[in-house]
Amino acid sequence: MTARLLLLTDGARSHHPLWTVMEAAIDAGVRQVVLREHGDPDRRLLATRLANLLGEVGGRLILAVRDVAPAWWQGAYHLAAAARPVDRAVFGRSCHNAAELAAAQAEGAAHVTVSPVYPTSSKPGYGLALGVAGLGALCAKAVVPVYALGGIDTPARIRECLGAGAHGVAVMGAIMRSRDPGVVAARLVEAAR
């Protein structure tokens, strides 16, 4: 996993149709996408189309899993903190504290997201923001790439997270809810290089 920006989808709160945002973001340089859209009845078709679009530019689709990984997906997964581990695939894991980070590494996660770094409206209920110092403390304990997540909506915040030791950043709201997702994605991709 080399891309430093990981885009998480949020079609329900997107300003534009999901596919429009995905095309704009990928055209702007996004190369890794975590497809959430858990309740979408066409999720399997969407995953196939999006994986193909990313494949055309050397990118990768990662399927988000809340509980049990679907058998139809053969690519990489991103597991919620409480989701069951998968033993047949490359996977990442969401982490919110040192215990979850240690567990994710022990079970073989290829990467982790650590959140929330900054206050965010996307994921209320996960406690207080870790801040850059909290992110740095978790990055120091990590042996896998860490993607900082939560409230990362400016190039300055990306630089702070990378400076704290994160391999990259995971972004959702800044791109998904933007009126001009391509412009925002290009600016954030450039900052994450």
- CATH code for position 106: 3.20.20.70
The structure tokens listed for 135 are 């992110």
Closest-CA residue to 20 (of 175, 188, 187):
175
Residue among 149, 168, 158, 161 at smallest CA distance from 191: 158
pLDDT, tens only, 9-37: 988 888 899 999 999 999 999 999 999 98
- Average pLDDT (72-76) is 82
How many domains, the chain?
1
What share of the chain has pLDDT > 90, as a percent?
A: 70
- Give me the pLDDT at residue 66, please: 78
What is residue 129's predicted lDDT score, i.e. its pLDDT? Answer: 92
Given a cut of 80, whether residue 45 has pLDDT beyond it is: yes
- Residues of the domain holding 148: 5-192
CB 63 within 8 A of CB 40: no
- Exposure letters 148-178 (e unless 16+ CB within 10 A, then b): bbbbbbeeebbebbbebbbbbbbbbbbbbbb
Averaged pLDDT for residues 63-77: 81
| Contact yes or no for 52/22 (Cβ under 8 A) | no
| Interval 41-64 mean pLDDT | 93
For 83-139, the pLDDT digits (tens) are 887 776 788 999 999 999 999 999 999 999 999 999 987 766 667 899 999 999 999
Residue 14: per-residue pLDDT: 87
pLDDT at 163 over 80: yes
What mean pLDDT value characterizes the chain?
91
48: confidence class by pLDDT, cuts 50, 70, 90: very high
**Which candidate, 135, 118, 136, places its Cα nearest to that of 127?**
118
Q: Is 113 helix (H, G, I), strand (E, B) or coil?
A: strand
The whole-angstrom separation of Cα 62 and Cα 49 is 13
Model-level pTM? 0.92
Distance CA(118)–CA(97), nearest Å, equals 14
